[in-house]
Structures are given as structure tokens and as C-alpha cells.
Amino acid sequence: MRRIGMPRLMMAASVALAIPASAMEQNPRPARHAAAPAPAQAAGPNVQAFLASLWNDARQRGISRETFNAALGNFTPDPAIIALTKKQSEFVRPIWSYLDGAISEQRLARGRAAAERHADELAAIERKYGVDRRIVLGIWGMETNFGSFTGEKDVFRSLATLALHRYRDDFFRDELLVALKILNDGFADRAAMRGSWAGAMGQTQFMPSSFMKYAVDHDGDGVRDLWANIPDALASTANYLASFGWQPGVPWGVEVNVPPSFNLASVEGMQEFSSWSAAGLTRVSGAALPRNGKAMLWYPAGIRGPAFLVTENYRVIKRYNSSDAYALAVAHLGDRLAGGSGFRSAWPRDDKRLSPAEVKELQRRLIALGHPLGKVDGRIGEISREAIRRQQIRHGLPADGYPTLALLQKLRQK
């Protein structure tokens, strides 16, 4: 899944989502697809050159010409898809706005009904994989609203459009080749291969490579069906998270009160929950902090908004989709479905956020100061937050790791 920071799996993506040979069926069924349509009509030299090159790679992976034509014989690029790559709400909207839409009363009602209907399967999956059923439910809810919409786009056309435009370099080309292998080896019918604009499939939106690595046949019927078989889909999601290091018995995180006297510059990285407790941090619910695990302090909207202690399990959620907004929505949706309440602290909805151009400028200035951020993409992740935090300390600003105009102005003076 995972997915691209994007629809998942997230890409992770989760994100980006993903695949081990051990998860492959030992005796794949014969390929099941419709008769090959007529060869592609001339759609311009760019498309034809792309298909010719792709066929060379597909043939080397053991994919038949029949399969290739069944999937891509009439391929034309989908003009709507490239525009969608620029509109991923988990990256461009304020986090509180994203959460408002994600944790709706309609979604909560549907989720409670789904949790009750599949309670036995969820309990069995949690026992087998050690992954909190609330997180599995949260991903199911965020990805397809508990199966109510699994995507209507043809996976092959979506992936081929993205690969043709070299979006994310070769990532989608590789996913397309894996999708062709899924069809060629009979793991799914041609008609079943429908999903999101990014090629994510099924109840919990696995990318093709994630299907091959992590999809499981939970009910033992000999088929790994992520589209119509809900137990298979939920178990595959748990298997995915477990494979990336989910720690049983450790929460994703908790909302906390941070005392005014707490020195944000005094600690960094993961600390034992007991250390945070000794420093005066308390859980907003009044309950004791967890006993197990380590956590780091995170202000998703800066010091004027809610504060959280998030664990390694929170990072595992981000393997499904790399967006912090997505991961927090998954975690909070799961908590709400288990009877939890909304966040206690208010979001700073009136604060002026940096524009996308200003965020990129901030990243460039941080890189110029020697911080290894990598690509300037306007997205603030954990590495960028740590760089921001270090510069905030240097300039006497609250060290919350949140990008602000105050910090940008300080760096401009340099």
C-alpha cells in the first residue's frame, strides 16, 4: 500500500505500500483474463515508444503478450490523473481541516457498524499478527470508508499514465510491471483490477507490489482477495504493519499536557514514557502514561496546538502513507471507534500558515545551513522538523519543530 504519501499505501503510502516471495502462492492459477483486444492504435510516438519499452521489460519478467495486450492493448493516457498528483489533501490542507473531514459522524457510524459486524475476524487477526485492531479499522476507514468506495479506475491505465509521465521516477513503472505479473499468474481477474488513480487496490488500497509481498489468504479459500473478501483485506493490512515492525502492546501515541515550565530544547528523539512522566508531561485524559515503549514529543500544529507523544508504532502507520495528517487520522479514527473522545486541546485555526512557496524557501535555507533534507518538496516530515527545531533553538524561538514565519524571517536575515 502505503502508497505515495498518497493514496495509499501511502504508499505509502502509505506512504508507499509494498512485497516477500514467501507471500506468493506456490501454485498460481492459470491466467484469467478476457481475450486480447486489438493492438493499440497510434496515440503518438511518445505512447508507442513507452509501450514498446515496457513490453521489453514485461517479457523479461515472464509476462505473456496475451496478458500485456489484455491489460494495455487499447491504452490511452488518463488526462485527469496528473492533475490529481498535485491535489493530495493530506499534504496540502491544514492538519485540522484534514482531520475534520476524516473523522466525520458518518464515517464513525459506518465504522462502528463494521467493527461490530467483523468483531470475530478482527480479534483473530489481532491475535495472529499482534497489530491493534483499532489501527486496522482506521486504515480501512481512511482508505475506502470501510469498503464503500474502493476505486473505479482501471489500475493498468492509471499506472501506465503515471509511468508514461515519469511521476516519481520509476516507482509507477515498477508497480505497473508487478500488476501485469499479478494478472499473468492468475492472482486476479482482469475485471477485478480496479482501484484509485494511483493504482492502489482493494478494501485497504494495496499497491501491486504490496499485494505480492503482504496479501494473505486469511479464510483459507486459496485466493488472496483484497477486493471482495474483507477478512483477507484486513489480515493483509495487519500483516503489512507487522512486517514493518509493529510493537504489540504499545500504543501509537497519546495526547498530552506539557507544563509551561518544560524546556523544549532539553530533550530530543525517543524517550521512555517514564522519562516524559518524570519531566511533568501528563495525559490529557487524566490516565497514567503508558508503561511500555518509547515516544517522542510532537506538535503537529506548533506549540499553540495539541501535543502528542508518538511511538515507533506511529512511524509504522506512516509506512502505509508517509503523511503525518493521514497517520494521525488513522490513529484517531481507530481510537474513536473504540470509544475514545476527540482531541482535548484546540487547534490554532486562526494561525497564519506558511504558503507552499515559503515552506520550500525554508527548506532551501535549511539545506544551505547544512541540514540534510534531501529534496525540496514543500512537505515537512520528521527530518525537516528536526532541522527546524535546531534552528529554533539557535534563534531563541520555541523549539516545537513547526515551520513558522518567525523562523523564516530569522533565516532570511542570514
Higher pLDDT, residue 113 or 269: 113
CB neighbour list of residue 260: distance below 8 Å, 6 or more residues apart? none
- Which one-letter DSSP state was computed for residue 265? G
pLDDT at 15 over 50: no
Over range 210-217, report the average pLDDT. 98
pLDDT at 5 over 90: no
Residue 267 banded pLDDT, cuts 50, 70, 90: confident
Q: What is the CATH topology of the domain spanning 2-85+151-243?
A: Helicase, Ruva Protein; domain 3 (1.10.8)
DSSP H helix total and E strand total for the chain = 18, 10
Q: What is the pLDDT of residues 355-406, one digit of tens each?
A: 999 999 999 999 999 999 988 989 999 999 999 999 999 999 999 999 999 9
pLDDT at 137 over 70: yes
CA 176 to chain CA centroid, nearest Å: 19
Q: What is the pLDDT of residues 273-298, one digit of tens each?
A: 999 999 999 999 999 999 989 999 99
Predicted local confidence at residue 90, as pLDDT: 53
Q: 24-32 — which CB contacts under 8 Å span 24+ positions? A: 24/212, 25/187, 25/217, 25/222, 25/224, 28/185, 28/186, 28/187, 29/185, 29/186, 29/187, 30/186, 31/64, 31/66, 31/67, 31/183, 31/184, 31/185, 31/186, 32/186, 32/188, 32/189, 32/190
Residue 207 banded pLDDT, cuts 50, 70, 90: very high
Percent of the chain clearing pLDDT 70 (strictly above): 88
pLDDT at 24 over 70: no
**Cβ-contact 299, 307 below 8 angstroms:** yes
Domain boundaries, the chain: 2-85+151-243, 356-413
CA 315 to chain CA centroid, nearest Å: 10
Q: What is the pLDDT of residues 152-182, one digit of tens each?
A: 999 999 999 999 999 888 999 999 999 999 9
Identify the H or E element spanning 160.
helix 155-164
CA 112 to chain CA centroid, nearest Å: 22
Predicted local confidence at residue 89, as pLDDT: 54
CA separation, residue 392 to residues 83, 396, 408 (Å): 36, 6, 10
pLDDT at 321 over 90: yes
pLDDT at 268 over 90: no
Average pLDDT, the chain: 89
- Which one-letter DSSP state was computed for residue 201? B
Work out whether the CA dihedral 16, 19, 23, 27 comes out positive or negative.
Answer: positive
Q: Give CA–CA dist 163/157, Å, rounded.
A: 10
Q: Give CA–CA dist 401/345, Å, rounded.
A: 18
- Per DSSP bridges, beta strands 194-195 and 294-298 are unpaired
pLDDT at 7 over 90: no
Please return the burial class of 357, using the count of CB atoms within 10 Å of its CB with bins 0-12, 13-18 and 19+: exposed
CA separation, residue 282 to residues 89, 274, 275, 305, 320 (Å): 32, 11, 11, 16, 29
CB atoms within 10 A of CB 53: 11
Predicted local confidence at residue 85, as pLDDT: 81
308 - beta bridge partners?
Answer: 255, 298
Q: What is the pLDDT of residues 30-89, one digit of tens each?
A: 333 443 343 444 444 399 999 999 999 999 999 999 999 999 999 999 999 988 887 655
pLDDT at 413 over 60: yes
Of the candidates 134, 125, 120, 116, which has an alpha carbon nearest to the alpha carbon of residue 218?
A: 125
Predicted local confidence at residue 42, as pLDDT: 41
Three-state SS for 77? coil
